[in-house]
Amino acid sequence: FLLLPIFHLFFFRILVHYIVEFGRSTADLQDNAARLAAIVDTVFDGIVVIDERGIIRDANPATAKIFGFAVAEMIGQKVNLLMPEPYRSQHDRYLANYLRTGETKIIGIGRELIGQRKNGEIFPIELAVTEMYLHGERKFVGTILDISKRKEAEELLRRTNEALEQRVQQRTSELAKMNLDLSSEIAERKLIEKKLELQARTDDLTGVCNRRQFDVALEMELERVRRYHSTPLLIMFDIDHFKQINDVYGHQQGDAILKELARLVSQEIRVNDIFARWGGEEFVLIVFENDLDGARLIAEKLKAAIEGHAFPRVGHITCSFGVTACGAEDDASALMSRVDKLMYLAKERGRNRVEVQ
């Protein structure tokens, strides 16, 4: 397990708090559990729940994808199944020491570690662990991010920097040629840095903005609303019956549908509209119209374009839309909650429709 960004640690602390509080305040616990399970199943990071003995009690599909196990294979196994030596042998001792002394190396902190896939492949991960009590039992919730691609890019950048330094040292006597080589190396380095920056801002699968970049953009637009009384509008939509598509055609085809949908929507919207993948099959848009009627027309146009498009193998699909305006009194959390409820209202009223508030 490796240092997980503070974003992930805070996010899952909030999720654990939400699980406990939501369970306390709602009568229908089965509905709560189903909704929370849906949230966990659609996040990109792996989530593993273990007990005090280090036994895996639950894991989400992202964990299975990262490590190459089926979820059922992991349940009931020691969590050190996901670690190479020497971490595998040492894990029980680390856990016992924490339970005895409260001294932590990972819990509540987060760090970088090494994971091991089912096929034996060793790879870098970022891990954060949060402790929680549920029905009187102590559990530990671990969130895992595969950082192999990021490490490869960082290593490429490191090697490029080393090569640059070596060439500068070797060619001090050849000033003209050295300047030419230096310019080339700097350009290559900048390309790599831009690639790293792009990876941090875009969704790997679809190429549109990722959730992190969208959160930044939304906060900026809300600040403009408060300062200049602008009227950006928010559209959220997701694919109807997407789980059935995955079940029938497989997750690889499901990914192909998401990519094609993102490409289609990107062609339909304007350059200054902000389009992002929110998570799973959910997408969000910030559009700049005078009123909700204008935003509704955009949503209706997108709905029709998606419904009329022939997707590979699957054929035709539909989406449900929620549309709302950004008010001066809104914060990001309230705004996203409102548009999410509108989208689910569209599903409850028959799907393939637009709900506006």
Burial class (CB in 10 A: 0-12, 13-18, 19+), 170: exposed
- Give the pLDDT mean for 107-124: 88
Q: What is the pLDDT of residue 45?
A: 87
335's tokens: 């705004």
Residue of higher predicted confidence among 10 and 205: 205
The H-or-E segment that residue 105 falls in is none
Contact between 235 and 284 (Cβ < 8 Å): yes
Give every strand in the sheet of 122-134, ordered side by side.
Answer: 56-59, 46-50, 137-146, 122-134, 111-116
- The span from the CA of 300 to the CA of 292, in Å, is 12
Contact between 326 and 233 (Cβ < 8 Å): yes
- The span from the CA of 139 to the CA of 189, in Å, is 45
Asked if residue 198 has pLDDT above 80, the reply is no
- Give the pLDDT mean for 130-136: 84
* Domains of the chain, residue spans: 6-146, 149-201, 211-356
- The span from the CA of 10 to the CA of 15, in Å, is 9
Pairing of strands 232-239, 111-116: unpaired
Taking Cα atoms as reference points, which of 233, 214, 238, 241 lies closest to residue 344?
238
197's tokens: 């920056």
As a whole number of Å, the CA-based R_g of the chain is 24
Give the max Cα distance, the chain.
79
131 vs 49, 97, 231, CA distance in Å? 10, 15, 42
Q: What percent of the chain has pLDDT over 90?
A: 57
What DSSP line would sit under 166-227, residue for residue?
HHHHHTTT-HHHHHHHHHHHHHHHHHHHHHHHHHHHB-TTT-SB-HHHHHHHHHHHHHHHHH
CATH value of 6-146 in 3.30.450.20, 3.40.50.300, 3.20.20.70, 3.30.70.1150: 3.30.450.20
303's tokens: 């709905």
The topology (CATH level 3) of 211-356 is Alpha-Beta Plaits (3.30.70)
Burial class (CB in 10 A: 0-12, 13-18, 19+), 205: middle
Is 348 part of the annotated catalytic residue set? no
pLDDT band at 197 (very low <50, low <70, confident <90, very high): low
From the candidates 126, 260, 281, 282, give the one annotated as an active-site residue: 281
- Give the pLDDT mean for 273-297: 93
What's 280's DSSP letter? T
- Give the pLDDT mean for 259-265: 97
- Give the pLDDT mean for 2-8: 42
**For the whole model, what pTM was predicted?**
0.48
- The span from the CA of 89 to the CA of 92, in Å, is 7
Q: Per-residue pLDDT tens for 166-195?
A: 888 888 777 777 777 667 667 666 665 555
Which residues does residue 116 pair with via DSSP β-bridges, in sequence order? 122
Q: Per-residue pLDDT tens for 98-110?
A: 888 877 766 767 7
Taking Cα atoms as reference points, which of 123, 111, 8 lies closest to residue 66?
123
Residue with the two structure tokens 């089912």: 118
- The span from the CA of 346 to the CA of 356, in Å, is 9
